[in-house]
Amino acid sequence: MIDLGAAVAALLAFLVLPFAFVDDMRSGLGWLMSGRWHFAPSVLATLAVGFLATRGVATAGMRLIVATLGLGWMIVYAFFGDMIDGRKLLAHGIGAAVIASALVLQGTRALATLGAFKADRWVATTTVTILVLVLTFVFFPVAKVLTSAFVDKAGTLDMSLFWARLTAPDVWGIACFYSSSACGVVTNTVVLGALAGLISTFLGLAFALLAQRGGMKNTRIFDALSVLPIITPPFVIALALVVLFGRTGIVTTILDNWFNIPRSRWIYGLPGVLIAQVLSQTPLSYMILRGALQGISPSLEEAAQTLRASRWVTFKTVTWPLLRPAIAASILLGFVESLADFGNPLVLGGSFEVLSTKIFFAVAGAQHDPGRAAILAVILLALTLTAFWMQLVWLGKKSYVTVTGKGDSGQPLPLPKGVRIATLSVVIPWIILTILIYGIIVVGGFVKDIGRGAMTPTFEHFHTGFAVEWTERGLFLAGSAWDSFNTTVMVSAIAAPLTTLIGILTAYVLVRHDFVGRRTFEFITMLAFAIPGTVIGVAYIVAFNVAPLELTGTGLILIICFVFRNMPVGVRAGIAALSQIDKSLDEASTTLGASTGTTVRRVTLPLLKPAIIATLVFSFVHAMTSVSAIVFLVTAKYNMATAYIVNRVDAGEYPLAIAYSSLLIIFMLIVVLAIQFFVGERKIGRRAVAAPVVSIGAS
């Protein structure tokens, strides 16, 4: 039935829906009548498969062949049609998408009928659909970037040009270590990343130790501080730093007036970018390390103490070694995040160039050299992948996390006195700095020009951005920022559920089903984790600017970009949640006669609810705040809040930028709280810990 339905849908799409995307509304039939017959065979293929499916299981092999041929022909014509019939390539549209989906669905079902995916059609369809989407919207564009790094502006292969671009002195130079001239962009990026990873981990560790072992009654302030960066657009911290420490900044002015310390531009460059990145990364390190500390069973430390180890010796010989994997993970994450960061270097970098900004200027700047952007993107990608690879190899076998499901009594060891004092002396100034920064953001929108010390209260900035007027035609959003704000909310609201759906389904298929090719599937989705936003941005421009998938300039490309940028988070949350849910729950449902679909709907999804909500919130918030990829993709028609703010910063309109940022932060806080309020937590056990039934498991 489903196969036949797909065929009918494909036929309808062929007859009615516009086949091409942008300007031409002709359907597949319309094109056929004007002499372009090349879409007809694929539709005929879906019809044939739909018919064959009514003839039972025996036709599965035939169906697979026909569907593959139909789809193969579609792809060949889409990319090489100009060589076949000498006409311009078409930008494929919704009609083509429906036909292609029908063929994928039919082919997959035939494949499952033949025994692949353990004959489970639901798993087969889900897996292949996700795979096709990831290949189209992650791997295809990235591959296109990789190839464009090897060609010149005319599009011919040029290895010497590639080599010249790769070895340019402004890429790899290390002159800054021994002379006053600048280093290459790769050197800058790596040094910045390493420092950001190390320092944020150090700070995160201090926070975690204090929260978990410092004998503090109330660690709420730590948790509150750790949520802030998640809802803060990445460059906002940079903005606040400029306001505080820039040449006319508040702190700079105070130091100049009171202590005669001369004004300087030290904040622009490595120090500023580093501080901004460490500020946003420290909370993440804190969460990783606090989790790891919680995972260390107190009885291990008690065991060490009963063996006569002092507090300090216990810390050194038991606690610290058990923490090491988490520390390495935190450093690597800090490194990778720093590499991917675009907003902070853009605002604070000055003449200190890193890969992500240099890529942006190679595309958007005056030099406009996509080939150069491509090669830098390749280097950035290689660096990130290396870090991920290291994490895999290095940490793969070294997880000591001890989640037993048994109640573990015992008290965690308090910190040795010296360590406690040391952590406090690091943590307290840091908290003050953080509060100062958010204070700036809150106040900055309401005063004349905080960057120049003009502190007259005013609503002027909010008025410019968000004025609302009553006219005879009703409410009119007169403020200059409304367009970008509305687009952002809409795009994020559409992208978030899609992200969650794809991410959680991927996790489900990965954790719960074993099939030939599962490892490859896992590898491909994991690899998508590693690609920095800037690379994706460049890749989307390179790949989706031309037929057959011409998407740039549309709102759709923004949604697609967010879905595949944030999907990994859903996958991770899903995998983490699913591995806490014993597989026998699924099996119990199956032995009671439920199909896979029913099991997912009635057992797995309800248990995954917390992970689903977390992913929804995260992907919404992340879509609202991200800059790196979408800054390449926005247009005048579809502008996004962050891109708008970046432009204000570029134009020196700091107060408006700050006002807009604070509004964004408050909006997201409200959304997050509202979701939590309405969805709530469902009671699964009366105990606070996960119900033991779930965690017993392993047989």
Partner 1 sequence: MAKAASVEFINVFKRYGDVAAVRGVSFKVEAGQLVTLLGPSGCGKTTTLRLVAGLELASEGTIRIGNDDVTQLGAAERDVSMVFQSYALFPHMNVLDNVMYGPLVSGASKKDAEAMAAEKLGLVGLKGYEKRLPSELSGGQQQRVAVARAIVLEPSVLLFDEPLSNLDAKLRRKVRDDIRDLQSRLGLTVLYVTHDQEEALAVSDKVIVMDNAVIAQEGTPSDLYERPKTRFLADFIGEANLIDGTFSSNAQGATFSAHGMTLDLGAVQLPEHAKTLAFRPDRVGIAPDPASPLAIRRQAYIGPSREYVIDAPWGELLIVRPVREPIIPNGTAVRLLMEPGAAMAIPG
Residues that bind partner 1 (CB under 8 A): 118-120, 582, 584-585, 587-595, 598, 602-603, 606-607, 682-687, 691-694, 696-697, 699
Angle in degrees, CA 560, 388, 235, rounded to 5: 55
The gap from C-alpha 619 to its chain's centroid, in whole angstroms, comes to 8
CB nearer to partner 1: give 588 or 666: 588
CB of 595 to partner 1, least distance (A): 6
Distance CA 267, CA 265 (A): 5
CB of 680 to partner 1, least distance (A): 14
CB nearer to partner 1: give 294 or 590: 590
CB nearer to partner 1: give 14 or 122: 122
Which residues are CB-contacts of 323 (< 8 A; sequence separation ≥ 6)? 205, 289, 292, 293, 296
DSSP 3-state of 453: coil
Return the sign of the alpha-carbon dihedral for residues 488, 238, 277, 341: positive
Tokens representing residue 248 in the block = 């006319």
CB of 127 to partner 1, least distance (A): 17
CB nearer to partner 1: give 16 or 691: 691
Distance CA 61, CA 253 (A): 77
CB of 507 to partner 1, least distance (A): 18
The gap from C-alpha 344 to its chain's centroid, in whole angstroms, comes to 17
Closest among 528, 478, 518, 406 to 138, alpha carbons compared: 528
Bridge partners of residue 476, in order along the sequence: 469
CB nearer to partner 1: give 407 or 418: 407
Q: Which residue do the tokens 């531009």 mark? A: 265
CB of 524 to partner 1, least distance (A): 22
CB of 694 to partner 1, least distance (A): 5
Distance CA 162, CA 168 (A): 10
Closest among 529, 547, 541, 679 to 614, alpha carbons compared: 679
CB nearer to partner 1: give 34 or 591: 591
Angle in degrees, CA 353, 354, 357, rounded to 5: 85
CB nearer to partner 1: give 118 or 263: 118
Tokens representing residue 461 in the block = 């900035």
Q: What is the DSSP string of 587-627?
A: HHHHHTT--HHHHIIIIIHHHHHHHHHHHHHHHHHHHHH--
CB nearer to partner 1: give 1 or 688: 688
CB nearer to partner 1: give 480 or 590: 590
CB of 198 to partner 1, least distance (A): 42
CB nearer to partner 1: give 291 or 606: 606
Tokens representing residue 551 in the block = 């998407």
Distance CA 334, CA 337 (A): 5
User: 627 with 536: CB under 8 angstroms?
Assistant: no
CB of 517 to partner 1, least distance (A): 15
CB nearer to partner 1: give 550 or 586: 586
CB of 521 to partner 1, least distance (A): 18
CB of 592 to partner 1, least distance (A): 4
Which residues are CB-contacts of 673 (< 8 A; sequence separation ≥ 6)? none
CB nearer to partner 1: give 181 or 699: 699
Q: What is the DSSP string of 351-394?
A: T---HHHHHHHHHHSTT--HHHHHHHHHHHHHHHHHHHHHHHHH
CB nearer to partner 1: give 517 or 685: 685
CB nearer to partner 1: give 393 or 688: 688
Q: Encode 169-204 in three state secondary structure.
A: HHHHCCHHHCCCCCCCHHHHHHHHHHHHHHHHHHHH
DSSP 3-state of 414: coil
User: 340 with 384: CB under 8 angstroms?
Assistant: yes
CB of 654 to partner 1, least distance (A): 50
Pairing of strands 454-457, 468-471: unpaired
CB nearer to partner 1: give 552 or 598: 598
Closest among 35, 137, 42 to 543, alpha carbons compared: 137
Residue 31: CB atoms within 10 Å: 20
CB of 490 to partner 1, least distance (A): 33
CB of 125 to partner 1, least distance (A): 16
Distance CA 597, CA 121 (A): 10
CB nearer to partner 1: give 251 or 603: 603
Report the phi/psi class of residue 260: left, alpha or beta, with left for phi > 0 and alpha for psi in -120 to 50: left
CB of 687 to partner 1, least distance (A): 6
CB of 375 to partner 1, least distance (A): 42
CB of 514 to partner 1, least distance (A): 10
Closest among 462, 470, 549, 498 to 130, alpha carbons compared: 498
Closest among 413, 324, 431, 401 to 576, alpha carbons compared: 401
